[in-house]
């Protein structure tokens, strides 16, 4: 575990809100800036939700930049509402934000921050990779100026999630596979925290109740939203008694990779498949011609992460 300065790229989003709070409260993590994109909700709502969560957490001073409104090749599709509510945070009403986003467009903001802090920043995209792809296309030099990219997206073995047309993808890679490909082929030090691990990290009804009672202001809002999230999971997976901590796990791996087991692999993303758009295609043949371009999390110490998560949510 080491001191970790991060830029979080979000489509806030219920688990994004939890990732923001985790980044605010986890020891050793310094949240430098947040950039917002479309995904779970439209980009204007994601930006507003991000400002609201930061202000509820007492950190309205952290800059927020608004970014991409749609994927590189397709219009925005509002299919996340069933999981995240019509406003993106489980229809929880929060006070209107006092702060405004910075005027700089999120990809440009990423470029500025990374160039000003070479080797120091870890970028943690937990929505579609569109902002990051725009930044990398405009300024390919930032790939090696980043300490690394720890992204939430994709899956190798997990059978995928409901709510998107592809049976073999996660929502972030499905929403913009071309952007995900640009990130994976950028030359940056990329770590993939996908559903192979995130679906094993559980937020149970008991945890929601405890954090909702004892947590700080932002965590209480997030746990109200989590009730909606849990109900959405239960509607889609009969009998399930938890929802998954996708986005917070990526933040945790950024500062403490020892909570997951990583395998270096050559990975790409299917962009044109009729049935498989957004699928991660790993080439694990180890033939001597494969060149690993990402470290992929395959196992997670879920109990340890859940303890870390709860501690961050209860910090006030």
Q: Which two tokens stand for residue 23?
A: 């980044």
**In this structure, are residues 12 and 89 in contact, taking their beta carbons and an 8 Å threshold?**
yes
Say whether 246 is catalytic. Answer: yes
Instruction: Please list every residue from 247 through 266 that binds Ca ion, using CB under 5 A.
Output: 247
Q: What is the rounded distance in angstroms from the CA atom of residue 243 to the CA atom of residue 245? A: 7
Q: Which of 84, 134, 246, 255 is catalytic?
A: 246
Name the minimum Å distance from CB 226 to Ca ion: 14
Read off the tokens for 225. 């939203």
**Is 125 among the residues that bind Ca ion (CB under 5 A)?**
no
- Cβ proximity to Ca ion, 78 vs 286, nearer residue: 78
Shortest distance in whole angstroms from residue 197 CB to Ca ion: 15
Residues 158, 231 contacting (CB under 8 angstroms): no
Q: Which member of 13, 97, 101, 248 binds Ca ion (CB under 5 A)? A: 13
Single out the residue of 24, 126, 132, 188 in contact with Ca ion (rule: CB under 5 A). Answer: 126
* Per rule CB under 5 A, count of chain residues that contact Ca ion: 6
Give the interface segment with Ca ion, choosing from 125-133, 140-148, 262-270, 272-280 (CB under 5 A). 125-133
The dihedral formed by the CA atoms of 248, 249, 251 and 254, expressed in degrees to the nearest 10: 180
- Binding residue for Ca ion (CB under 5 A) from 4, 7, 16, 230? 16
Helical packing angle, 43-56 and 14-25, nearest 10°: 40
Q: Provide the token pair at 263.
A: 């395998």
Could you say which of 67, 127, 153, 257 contacts Ca ion (CB under 5 A)?
A: 127
**Of 194, 216, 119, which Cα lies nearest the Cα of 150?**
194
Rounded Cα–Cα distance for residues 277 and 196 (Å): 18
Would you say 83 and 232 are in contact if contact means Cβ atoms under 8 Å apart?
yes
Shortest spacing between CB 153 and Ca ion, in angstroms: 9
* Segment near Ca ion (CB under 5 A); pick from 12-20, 90-98, 206-214, 262-270: 12-20
11 is catalytic: yes
Q: Which residues bind Ca ion (CB under 5 A)?
A: 11, 13, 16, 126-127, 247
Supply the residues annotated as catalytic. 11, 246
């Amino acid at each position: 575990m080491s001191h970790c300065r991060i830029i979080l790229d979000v489509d806030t989003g219920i688990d994004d809100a939890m990732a923001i709070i985790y980044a605010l409260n986890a020891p050793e993590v310094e949240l430098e800036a947040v950039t917002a994109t479309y995904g779970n909700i439209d980009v204007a709502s994601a930006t507003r939700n991000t400002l609201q969560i930061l202000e509820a957490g007492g950190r309205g001073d952290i800059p927020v930049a608004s970014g991409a409104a749609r994927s590189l090749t397709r219009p925005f599709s509002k299919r996340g509402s069933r999981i995240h509510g019509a406003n993106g945070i489980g229809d929880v009403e929060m006070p209107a934000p006092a702060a405004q986003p910075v005027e700089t467009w999120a990809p440009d903001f990423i470029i500025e921050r990374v160039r000003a802090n070479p080797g120091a920043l870890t970028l943690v995209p937990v929505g579609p990779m569109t902002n990051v792809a725009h930044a990398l296309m405009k300024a390919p030099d930032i790939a090696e100026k980043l300490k690394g990219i720890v992204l939430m997206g994709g899956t190798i073995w997990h059978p995928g999630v409901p709510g998107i047309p592809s049976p073999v993808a996660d929502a972030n890679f499905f929403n913009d596979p071309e952007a995900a490909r640009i990130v994976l082929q950028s030359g940056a030090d990329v770590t993939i925290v996908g559903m192979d691990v995130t679906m094993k990290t559980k937020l149970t009804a008991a945890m929601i109740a405890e954090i909702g009672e004892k947590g700080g202001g932002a965590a209480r809002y997030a746990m109200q939203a989590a009730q909606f999230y849990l109900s959405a999971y239960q509607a889609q997976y009969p009998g399930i008694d938890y929802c998954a901590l996708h986005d917070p796990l990526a933040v945790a791996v950024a500062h403490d990779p020892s909570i997951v087991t990583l395998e270096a692999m050559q990975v790409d993303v299917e962009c044109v498949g009729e049935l498989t758009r957004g699928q991660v295609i790993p080439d694990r043949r180890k033939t001597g011609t494969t060149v690993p371009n990402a470290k992929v999390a395959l196992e997670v110490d879920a109990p340890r992460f859940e303890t870390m998560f709860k501690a961050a949510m209860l910090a006030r």
